[in-house]
Structure 1
Amino acid sequence: MPTQDPDLSAGDAPPKPAPVKPLRLLLVDDQRAFQVMMKAMLQNIGINRINFANSAEEARRRCLKESFDIYLFDYDLGGGENGRQLLESLRDKGLIPPQSVVIMVSSDSSRAMVLSALEVEPDEYLMKPFSQEQFKFRLRRALARRQALESVFRALAEDKPEQLIRACAERADAIPRFANFCRCLQADTQLRLGQAREARSLMRQLLAGQENGWARLTLGKACHTLGLNEEAVSHLQATLKHNPLMVEAYLWLAEAQLALGEEESAQRELKRAVEISPQSVLLSRRLAEICLQRHDYAQARDVLLTLIDLSRNSIHRTPHYLGAYIQCLTLYALNSNDGYHIANLQKQVNSALSRIRDSLMVSEFNYPVFEQICQARVQVALGQLIKGKKMLYRANQHWLDQPANMPVALLGETVLALYQLGEFEYAESLQDHLAEDEDRLLTICIQATRNDKTVQERRQRYQQLNELGIKAYQGGEFEQALTHFREALRRAPANTGAALNKIQVLLKLIEKHRKSPDFPNECKETLAMLDGIPLNPAQQERFRKLRQEFTQSQ
Structure 2
Amino acid sequence: MSDYSHLSVLIVDPNQSMRSSVHNMLTQINISKVDHAVNAATAIRQLSMRSYDVILCEYDLGGSGDQTGQDGQQLLEDLRHHRIIPQWAIFMMLTSEGVYNKVIGAAELQPSDYVLKPFTVEVISQRITRALQRRAALLPVYQMVSQGRASDAITTCQELVQSQPRYALEFARLRAEVLTSLERHSEAEQAYAAILKQKPLGWAQLGQARSIQQQGRLADAEALLKQLVADNPEQMAAYDLLAAILRGSGRDAEAKTVLEDAVAISPHMVVRLRSLGDVALATGDVDAAERAYKQVLVKSRHSEFRDASDHVNLVRTLVKKGDAAGAAATARDLERSLRSTPTTDVCHAYANAMVKELNGDTAGAAAALDKAMTKLSESTGMSSNIKLGLAHSCLKNGLDEQAVVLLDELIADPSSGIGAAQVEAVCREANRVDFVKRYEENPDAAVDAAVREAAELSRGGAQGDAVDVLRKTLRRYPDHHGLRTVAVTAILRLLNDSGWDAELATECTGLLRRIREEQANHPLLPGLIAQYATLRKKYAPPS
Normalization by structure 1: what TM-score? 0.66
Aligned AA (1:427): A
Residue 354 of structure 2 is aligned to residue 377 of structure 1: yes
| 1:60 to 1:210, Cα distance in 2 relative to 1, 3 A | closer
Alpha-carbon distance in 1 for matches of 2:206, 2:86: 28
1:310 deviates by 2.9
Q: Which of the residues 367, 373, 378 maps onto 2:344?
A: 367
Residue 411 of structure 2 is aligned to residue 427 of structure 1: no
Task: State which structure, 1 or 2, has the greater radius of gyration over its C-alpha atoms.
Answer: 1
Q: Which of the residues 11, 16, 38 maps onto 1:54?
A: 38
Alpha-carbon distance in 2 for matches of 1:444, 1:50: 55
Q: What SS class does the counterpart of residue 51 from structure 1 fall into? A: strand
1:91 deviates by 5.0
Q: What SS class does the counterpart of residue 216 from structure 1 fall into? A: helix
Aligned AA (1:109): V
Q: What SS class does the counterpart of residue 109 from structure 1 fall into? A: helix
1:478-498: per-residue Cα shift (whole Å, max 9, x none)?
Answer: xxxxxxxxxxxxxxxxxxxxx
| 1:418 to 1:72, Cα distance in 2 relative to 1, 3 A | same
Alpha-carbon distance in 1 for matches of 2:152, 2:309: 35
1:68 deviates by 2.5
**Within-5 A mapping of 1:119-138:** 119-138=108-127
| 1:74 to 1:460, Cα distance in 2 relative to 1, 3 A | same
Contact 1:25 1:70 in 2 (8 A): yes
What is the aligned partner in structure 2 of residue 460 from structure 1? 433
Residue 331 of structure 2 is aligned to residue 389 of structure 1: no
What is the aligned partner in structure 1 of residue 521 from structure 2? none
| 1:311 to 1:248, Cα distance in 2 relative to 1, 3 A | same
Aligned AA (1:346): A
What is the aligned partner in structure 2 of residue 23 from structure 1? 7
Aligned AA (1:361): R
1:389-446: per-residue Cα shift (whole Å, max 9, x none)?
Answer: 23433x25856xxx75666468656424323425456423443244625665999997
What is the aligned partner in structure 2 of residue 222 from structure 1? 211
What is the aligned partner in structure 1 of residue 256 from structure 2? 267
1:367 deviates by 3.2
**Within-5 A mapping of 1:297-308:** 297-308=286-297
What is the aligned partner in structure 2 of residue 291 from structure 1? 280
Deviating more after overlay: 242-251 vs 45-54: 45-54
Alpha-carbon distance in 2 for matches of 1:443, 1:316: 31
Alpha-carbon distance in 2 for matches of 1:376, 1:260: 32
What is the aligned partner in structure 2 of residue 38 from structure 1? 22
Aligned AA (1:103): M
Alpha-carbon distance in 2 for matches of 1:353, 1:437: 34
| 1:213 to 1:85, Cα distance in 2 relative to 1, 3 A | closer
Contact 1:112 1:277 in 2 (8 A): no
1:144-196: per-residue Cα shift (whole Å, max 9, x none)?
Answer: 11111111232455565434333333333332232222222322322222211
Q: What SS class does the counterpart of residue 99 from structure 2 fall into? A: coil
| 1:96 to 1:230, Cα distance in 2 relative to 1, 3 A | closer
Q: What SS class does the counterpart of residue 227 from structure 1 fall into? A: coil
1:201 deviates by 1.4
Q: Which of the residues 185, 189, 195 maps onto 1:206?
A: 195
1:99 deviates by 5.2
Aligned residues: 426
Q: What SS class does the counterpart of residue 278 from structure 1 fall into? A: coil
| 1:365 to 1:182, Cα distance in 2 relative to 1, 3 A | farther
Aligned AA (1:320): S
Contact 1:191 1:199 in 2 (8 A): yes
Alpha-carbon distance in 1 for matches of 2:378, 2:50: 38
1:86 deviates by 4.3
1:37 deviates by 1.9
Q: What SS class does the counterpart of residue 208 from structure 1 fall into? A: helix
Contact 2:331 2:352 in 1 (8 A): no
What is the aligned partner in structure 2 of residue 254 from structure 1? 243
Contact 1:45 1:136 in 2 (8 A): yes
Aligned AA (1:22): H
| 1:24 to 1:449, Cα distance in 2 relative to 1, 3 A | same
Alpha-carbon distance in 1 for matches of 2:436, 2:180: 45
Aligned AA (2:14): D
Contact 1:250 1:270 in 2 (8 A): yes
Alpha-carbon distance in 2 for matches of 1:273, 1:65: 35
| 1:268 to 1:444, Cα distance in 2 relative to 1, 3 A | farther
What is the aligned partner in structure 2 of residue 350 from structure 1? 329
Contact 1:112 1:276 in 2 (8 A): no
Contact 2:280 2:288 in 1 (8 A): yes
1:251 deviates by 1.7
Contact 2:290 2:314 in 1 (8 A): yes
1:271 deviates by 1.5
Alpha-carbon distance in 1 for matches of 2:154, 2:428: 43
| 1:274 to 1:75, Cα distance in 2 relative to 1, 3 A | same
Q: Which of the residues 423, 436, 442 maps onto 2:413?
A: 436
Contact 1:184 1:218 in 2 (8 A): no
Alpha-carbon distance in 2 for matches of 1:384, 1:424: 18
What is the aligned partner in structure 2 of residue 74 from structure 1? 58
Contact 1:270 1:287 in 2 (8 A): yes
Contact 2:154 2:179 in 1 (8 A): yes
Unaligned ranges ≥5, structure 2: 438-543
Contact 2:10 2:37 in 1 (8 A): yes
1:32 deviates by 0.8
1:380 deviates by 0.6
Contact 1:292 1:444 in 2 (8 A): no
1:366 deviates by 4.8
What is the aligned partner in structure 1 of residue 503 from structure 2? none
Normalization by structure 2: what TM-score? 0.67
Deviating more after overlay: 140-149 vs 58-67: 58-67
1:334-373: per-residue Cα shift (whole Å, max 9, x none)?
Answer: xxxxxxxx2x323344236526843x317x4453453233
What is the aligned partner in structure 2 of residue 324 from structure 1? 313
**Within-5 A mapping of 1:31-180:** 31-78=15-62, 80-90=69-79, 96=85, 100-107=89-96, 109=99, 113-114=103-104, 118-157=107-146, 160-180=149-169
What is the aligned partner in structure 1 of residue 466 from structure 2? none
Q: What SS class does the counterpart of residue 432 from structure 1 fall into? A: helix
1:192-232: per-residue Cα shift (whole Å, max 9, x none)?
Answer: 22211111112222222332222122111122222223332
Q: What SS class does the counterpart of residue 183 from structure 1 fall into? A: helix
Alpha-carbon distance in 2 for matches of 1:23, 1:69: 6
Q: What SS class does the counterpart of residue 306 from structure 2 fall into? A: coil
Deviating more after overlay: 141-150 vs 409-418: 409-418
What is the aligned partner in structure 2 of residue 197 from structure 1? 186
Alpha-carbon distance in 2 for matches of 1:174, 1:257: 43
What is the aligned partner in structure 1 of residue 268 from structure 2? 279
| 1:352 to 1:299, Cα distance in 2 relative to 1, 3 A | farther
